Amino acid sequence: MKKLIAVCSILLVIAVAYSCKKSAVVSGSSVYLDLPTTPYPYYDSFAFFQPDSLNRKATLGRVLFYDTHLSLNNAVACASCHKQEYSFADNVSFSVGYEGRLTKRNAPAVMNVQGRQSFFWDGREINIRNLSVRPISNHVEMGITDPSTLPQKLAALPYYSNLFLSAYGDGQITVDRISDAIAIFMQAINTAPTRLDRYVDGDSTAMTAQEVAGKALFDSKYNCSSCHNGGVRPGMFNNFYGGGGGSSFLDIGLDNNYVDMGRGTITGIATENGTFNVPSLRNVALTAPYMHDGRYKTLSDVIDHYSHGIIKTPNLDPLLINNSGNALQMSIPDQDKQAIIAFLNTLTDYQITTAPRFSNPFKIN
């Protein structure tokens, strides 16, 4: 009897997946939903409990992540501001949201989020399962200010009943399930080992002499890795040069008079005014423009800031203050600058930008 139930369950999952692949036409248009018969292996059976269930939930999360119906005017998806080709960041300073409104900050890259302690530039969210609801309900970003109306809206679409059935065992659509599925998909978006990782693993041919020199400059001479977590072999989620993991907020001397209070807006602590989350440097070559407001268009611009652009701000990080109490001027020569940029490029994983399992499942005939 148990074997019969197991076989029936497997057949149900296959039938649901097949139905999604062949029948899900969006609003009668030429756009259709193209999903594999067997879910992509987002989660590995050796590392995770119930990976098949997680893979089905990640599949649902992928559809939700790319579905513009999660916005009030059916024009904006999570992926509108977190684009796969830019390592799930945006290539503009401020993203275009609901009714053409611009976001107030640059969209951070959605990758390697597992284990982070907080999210957003100011760390205002600590629960990844609450993360997706914030932009959906934001009046600038996606416009559904009352998320409780979202399940009914999605239930009217032809493809979600089967997807929720496959993921959760029944077709009930709830806000909690929506946020859970998106979170599970986002947690699956992880960078693969890069040339830097191969070099750290002992492959001396993985990096050029210039790149190796750039790594030494980054780690030692200019001490960049003190904030960007250098010197530790990447673990499962590639946190080598991964930033502060959502626990470090620093003022790096961008503005003398704070235009944006950053972390201080959330905590109300004066010494945290002007501080922002230390970002990961994984795929940093793909995530321009840089800083919370996207003010720097290139990595060269960023290094110029540290070379001679740091301002003595009220909460400037102590590592950026010299012995005289003034803002540190690193005066980075051009040769060092080019070497550091070359090194930063070794942290790039290009597969994440084209991997089908992370791509838009909505196709056009």
Q: What is the pLDDT of residues 82-128, one digit of tens each?
A: 999 999 999 999 999 989 999 999 999 999 988 888 999 999 999 99
pLDDT in tens, 118-175: 999 999 999 999 998 899 999 899 999 999 999 999 999 999 999 999 999 999 999 9
What whole-number distance in Å separates Cα of residue 343 and Cα of residue 181?
Answer: 36
* Contact criterion met (CB below 8 Å) for 291 and 257: no
Mean local confidence (pLDDT), 188-213: 94
Cα 120 from chain centroid? 10
Residue 34 has pLDDT above 90, yes or no: yes
Are 270 and 291 found together in one domain? yes
Are 114 and 217 found together in one domain? no
Residue 245 has pLDDT above 80, yes or no: no
Residue 2 has pLDDT above 50, yes or no: no
Stronger pLDDT, 15 or 339, i.e. the higher one? 339
Are 41 and 171 found together in one domain? yes
Are 209 and 298 found together in one domain? yes
What whole-number distance in Å separates Cα of residue 357 and Cα of residue 84?
Answer: 11
pLDDT (0 to 100) of residue 13: 42
Task: State percent of the chain over pLDDT 90.
Answer: 78
Helix, strand, or coil here: 117? coil
Are 215 and 148 found together in one domain? no
Are 236 and 338 found together in one domain? yes
Mean local confidence (pLDDT), 307-323: 97
Are 297 and 275 found together in one domain? yes
Closest CA to 108 of 142, 131, 76: 131
Containing domain of residue 167, as a range? 2-190+353-364
Are 149 and 174 found together in one domain? yes
Stronger pLDDT, 347 or 246, i.e. the higher one? 347
pLDDT (0 to 100) of residue 230: 57
pLDDT (0 to 100) of residue 71: 96
Residue 59 has pLDDT above 50, yes or no: yes
Number of domains in the chain: 2
Are 128 and 25 found together in one domain? yes
Residue 9 has pLDDT above 50, yes or no: no
pLDDT (0 to 100) of residue 49: 79
pLDDT (0 to 100) of residue 141: 94
Residue 306 has pLDDT above 50, yes or no: yes
pLDDT (0 to 100) of residue 26: 52
pLDDT (0 to 100) of residue 199: 93
| Cβ within 8 Å of residue 190, ≥6 positions away | 111, 112, 114, 236, 237, 238, 352
- The letter for the amino acid at 141 is E
pLDDT (0 to 100) of residue 239: 53
Are 252 and 137 found together in one domain? no
Closest CA to 163 of 361, 354, 363: 361
DSSP string, 278-294: PPP-TTGGGS-SBSTT-
pLDDT (0 to 100) of residue 195: 95
Stronger pLDDT, 230 or 302, i.e. the higher one? 302
Are 215 and 325 found together in one domain? yes
Are 263 and 292 found together in one domain? yes
DSSP string, 29-75: SSEEE---SS----S-TTTSSSHHHHHHHHHHHHHHHH-GGGSTTS-
Closest CA to 195 of 75, 40, 334, 350: 350
Residue 221 has pLDDT above 90, yes or no: yes
CATH code, domain carrying 199 = 1.10.760.10
What whole-number distance in Å separates Cα of residue 74 and Cα of residue 78?
Answer: 12
List Cα–Cα distances, 7 to 40, 67, 301, in angstroms. 20, 32, 59
